[in-house]
A and B are shown apart, each in its own frame.
Chain A
């Protein structure tokens, strides 16, 4: 019973160790997972970009998942822990939705998010949904430029 007071510090140590391992091996956002590593790395899930690469008419479209309400859980889950395993699972979920090409705006959309005339849309085959890719924000101290850099995508599996 005397040692029960060491349980919470012990759990904290476990989460910290898990954070280090998952950041190094599975691209976990270092600010997440109870590692208490806030205000350290620039790369955090709020600044990550997650999207789907879709092929249509010999062109590849990157569909940013940020504003797709139906895929909110996929968007957040992919940014927190973009491990090979999770991205593969999420791609399966993404493929279960109906994707269409909108020729008017030259973009790929999710049918349930579209409110215009459905007649103009062209369906996209599941095999043309190539992968889900997650990027992190990259800040170059030398030229003061901010860009994005690929962390992982589901192709590597």
Chain B
């Protein structure tokens, strides 16, 4: 009981930590992401482990600015320069932004101020990312009228757990949608069409999900983009945590979730202090492989 109290207190007050150690932890978290997910082509698959592993092992390497210059080249060329030629999802763009932010920090910041600089950039990368996502939703009429989630919840197998529970739809019927979609994408007949099974049963769910998404993403955008002196900015981590908890157990977007947790971690640390929020993001970073478990389907089977 005493230990639980101590743990609770630590989560509330945070854990004091050497600023240099926080920086090392942050840089290694970024390197782990690159090692696991920066493997889009044969060149990156071979070279990234060769570059990143020494950085993970040796402190002098991970703090070397020329090491981050090399990573910046390997990050920006495929993800920012040739990004319209191959499949580069948005979280890969964020990888490039984060690498670039570290590179700028190491090259241009005074040593004692470098982590503060990175905190600032992480806060604005998150804020702008969500601001663009919200504007994008207002530019998509199908999102505002609920069609987007009606379609996605019944077509994308990642959402089948939620859809079958909320709409009381047989999972086998939803799988038929996935099969029909495959036929559509493989078609040689441009007049091919099919009926979306179950869409009529989740119209309300589609609308509620749409407006919840706009609300939570909008709050993240505002609270992260506002300067820290504003009251709403102080609640930014609560909004981001609410987003993580309500999104990633359902929409398993591993690459985006892990880079978001890392940036959340960076901006939530204070000078020589890991806050309770930092500990949460760190826990998310470590526990993210668990999102491979289809929680809602497991819940459905048990109850």
Q: Which residues of A contact B (CB under 8 A)?
A: 1, 4-5, 7-9, 11-13, 15-16, 20, 22, 28, 30-42, 45, 47, 49, 51, 61-64, 66-67, 73, 76-77, 80-81, 107, 133, 135, 137, 139, 141, 143-148, 150
- 4 extra A-B contacts, CB within 8 A, seeds A4-B104, A7-B100: A12-B128, A40-B133, A135-B190, A146-B196
* Chain A residues touching B, majority SS: mixed
Q: Which A residue's beta carbon lies closest to that of B132?
A: A36
Interface contact B84-A80, CB-CB below 8 Å = yes
Question: What mask results when residues 68 to 89 of chain B are scored 1 for a CB within 8 Å of chain A, else 0?
Answer: 0000000000001001111111
**A residues less than 8 Å from B252 (CB atoms):** none
Of the listed residues A9, A28, A34, the one surrounded by the most CB atoms of chain B closer than 10 A to its CB is A34
CB of B174 within 8 A of chain A? no
Q: Which A residue's beta carbon lies closest to that of B143?
A: A40
Min CB gap A152→B, angstroms: 14
Of the listed residues A13, A41, A77, the one surrounded by the most CB atoms of chain B closer than 10 A to its CB is A41
Min CB gap B82→A, angstroms: 11
Bound-state Cα–Cα, A150 to B190, Å:
9
Interface contact A42-B151, CB-CB below 8 Å = yes
Min CB gap A83→B, angstroms: 10
* Chain B residues touching A, majority SS: helix
Q: Which A residue's beta carbon lies closest to that of B147?
A: A141
Min CB gap B202→A, angstroms: 11
**A residues less than 8 Å from B108 (CB atoms):** 1, 4
CB of B192 within 8 A of chain A? yes
Min CB gap A53→B, angstroms: 9
Question: What mask results when residues 183 to 217 of chain B are scored 1 for a CB within 8 Å of chain A, else 0?
Answer: 01111111111111001100000000000010000
Min CB gap A130→B, angstroms: 13
**B residues less than 8 Å from A38 (CB atoms):** 89-90, 133, 136, 256
Interface contact B84-A37, CB-CB below 8 Å = no
Bound-state Cα–Cα, A4 to B150, Å:
43
**A residues less than 8 Å from B184 (CB atoms):** 49, 137, 146-148
Bound-state Cα–Cα, A64 to B190, Å:
10
Q: Which B residue's beta carbon lies closest to that of A20?
A: B139
Q: Which residues of B contact A (CB under 8 A)?
A: 80, 83-90, 93, 97, 100-101, 104, 108-109, 117, 120-121, 124-125, 128-130, 132-133, 135-137, 139-140, 142-143, 145-148, 150-152, 155, 180-181, 184-196, 199-200, 213, 251, 256
Q: Which B residue's beta carbon lies closest to that of A7?
A: B104
Interface contact A64-B186, CB-CB below 8 Å = yes
Min CB gap A50→B, angstroms: 10
Interface contact B186-A141, CB-CB below 8 Å = no
Interface contact A37-B136, CB-CB below 8 Å = yes
Interface contact B136-A32, CB-CB below 8 Å = no
**B residues less than 8 Å from A36 (CB atoms):** 90, 93, 128-130, 132-133, 136
Q: Which A residue's beta carbon lies closest to that of B120?
A: A5
7 closest A-B pairs by beta carbon, nearest first, are A37-B136, A147-B193, A36-B132, A34-B93, A40-B140, A40-B136, A41-B140
Interface contact A32-B85, CB-CB below 8 Å = no
Interface contact A61-B93, CB-CB below 8 Å = no
Q: Which A residue's beta carbon lies closest to that of B198?
A: A144
Q: Which B residue's beta carbon lies closest to that of A6?
A: B124
Interface contact A8-B84, CB-CB below 8 Å = no
Given contacts A15-B93, A141-B147, A144-B200, contact A37 B120 (CB under 8 A): no
Interface contact B142-A13, CB-CB below 8 Å = no
Bound-state Cα–Cα, A143 to B195, Å:
8
Q: Which of B88, B132, B196 contacts A145 (CB 8 A)?
A: B196
Given contacts A40-B140, A49-B187, A145-B195, contact A8 B101 (CB under 8 A): yes
Bound-state Cα–Cα, A9 to B190, Å:
42
A and B contact pairs by CB, cutoff 8 A, 15 listed:
A8-B100, A8-B125, A11-B100, A15-B93, A30-B136, A32-B87, A35-B132, A35-B136, A37-B136, A39-B148, A41-B143, A66-B185, A139-B150, A146-B184, A148-B193
